[in-house]
Amino acid sequence: MHTSLQQDRQQDCLIRFAKELLLVYCESDRLSEEGLREFIEEHGLNRPHETDDRFFKLVCDNERVTEGIIQCLLEYFPGAIRETDMNDWFYIACSNKNVTLNIIRLLIDAGPSSVRNVNNDGGFPLHGLCMNENLDETLAIKILKLFLEKHPEAIAYTRDEGYLPIHMASLSARSPEFCRVLIDAYPGSERISEDSGMLPLHCACFKATVATVEYLYKLYPDAVNQATTSDFIQFTSHFMTVQRGVHLMLWKLSSSYLIAILL
């Protein structure tokens, strides 16, 4: 009896150690589907009742993530799929420059309602997607449309400081096409300010392309006349050094713009 208990404890220690090694592997630059399966089988980690979801989070954050890797984890650790927690995976995955539409579909299929849960940062996966500056634009729009299909209410949800998805997209150099999909889903959102008074156009002036700023300006020209509690002079001064093309474009479009940035 004593020997059996001791063996069980030793086995538990080995399992815990193997799990820690697996966590290290999941965030490493050696991650692959073949290597993941081999590691799990070799260390006896085929545990359907495992509830630790850290494997998923690390893999979703790893730029080497593939559909096969996600499928592998779903196969070996189905017990870790708790829809109340999965929003973190979505949010992390949506920030990965190598995420694919099928990876997002796999996560949604694994936990259909999880796409509607707010994560620890107060946002839906849609908000995370809008902030991913490195994702291919065509792919980003496909994922955006999928999120809007699965959870259309997220388009009008504000994160901390009153940021709508359109504010976050405008801050993240998203294209006019991406912003157009957001505004079509929430008409009039180009006129909504976040908590400090910044409109999507103001947000776009931080980092966006000339085309995005021009698109937002043409939707709501009066945006340049709206005062904000943000340091408008500071960001427009920075803007003049890094985005002269946008600054000049606004000057051409609106004679009141030069007055607006000096208020």
Q: Give every CB contact of residue 236 below 8 A, 6+ residues apart in sequence.
A: 205, 247, 261
Q: What span, in angstroms and rounded, lies between the C-alpha atoms of 215 and 258?
A: 19
Instruction: Print the SS3 string covering 1-52.
Output: CHHHHHHHHHHHHHHHHHHHHHHHHHCCCCCCHHHHHHHHHHCCCCCCCCCC
Q: What span, in angstroms and rounded, lies between the C-alpha atoms of 116 and 113?
A: 6
Query: Where are the chain's structural domains?
Result: 158-263
- 3-state SS assignment for residue 184: helix
Whole-model pTM: value is: 0.83
What single-letter amino acid sits at 238? H
- Burial zone of 4 (CB within 10 Å; 0-12 exposed, 13-18 middle, 19+ buried): exposed
Supply the pLDDT for residue 79.
77
Cα-Cα end-to-end distance for the chain: 81
Positions of the chain with pLDDT lower than 50, given as ranges: 232-235, 237-245, 248, 251-263
Helix ranges (H only) for the chain are 2-26, 33-42, 54-61, 67-76, 86-94, 101-110, 125-131, 137-150, 165-171, 176-185, 200-207, 210-219, 232-242, 244-253, 257-260
Architecture of the domain made up of 158-263: Alpha Horseshoe (1.25)
pLDDT digit string, tens, across residues 216-251: 999 998 887 776 665 544 445 444 444 444 554 554
pLDDT digit string, tens, across residues 8-47: 677 778 788 888 999 999 999 999 999 999 999 998 887 7
Q: What span, in angstroms and rounded, lies between the C-alpha atoms of 165 and 126?
A: 7
Supply the pLDDT for residue 202.
87
Q: What span, in angstroms and rounded, lies between the C-alpha atoms of 183 and 130?
A: 13
